[in-house]
Amino acid sequence: MKQIILVEDDPGILDPMIIILRNSGYAVTTFLDGVLILNNDFSPPDLFIIDKQLPGVDGLEICKYLKSRKETSSIPVIMVSATPNIHTLGKAAGADDTIEKPFQIHELRDVVAKHLTR
């Protein structure tokens, strides 16, 4: 089963995302902020989904960090945000894809599938 690490602090978004991803057959581990990731305290997943606006360190910084380390640089990162220019910001931070909130279920599924079926 493919492993996804989902970093999102808002339970209103986190809960439905977990349902959608688990229903699609993925194993999901959730973090409410980036602390554990920045401390390298996690088992490398097949994919990261990271919200931009997080308490403490911004999601884009976490993305940059993951892309800068040899151990994680090849793991796809999808950035999620309500900011309309997330596409530009995500690209600049090295993200493999971006999703703008509010999104459609199928958008989330399609983007995740695109990076996990390679």
Nearest to 37 by CA among 51, 27, 16: 51
Assigned token pair, 104 = 């459609």
Q: Choose which of 69, 82, 92, 114 interacts with another protein (CB under 8 A).
A: 82
Q: In whole angstroms, how far apart are CA 83 and each of 4, 30, 79, 90?
A: 23, 22, 11, 11
Contact in structure between 63 and 94 (CB atoms under 8 Å): yes
Site track for another protein across 44-73, x = CB under 8 A:
------------------------------
Instruction: Give the number of residues in contact with another protein, rule: CB under 8 A.
Output: 19
Which of 75/79 has CB closer to another protein?
79
Q: Choose which of 88, 92, 110, 114 interacts with another protein (CB under 8 A).
A: 88
Residues present in the chain in total: 118
Instruction: Give contact residues for another protein (rule: CB under 8 A).
Output: 10, 12-13, 15-17, 19-20, 23, 82, 84-85, 87-88, 101-105
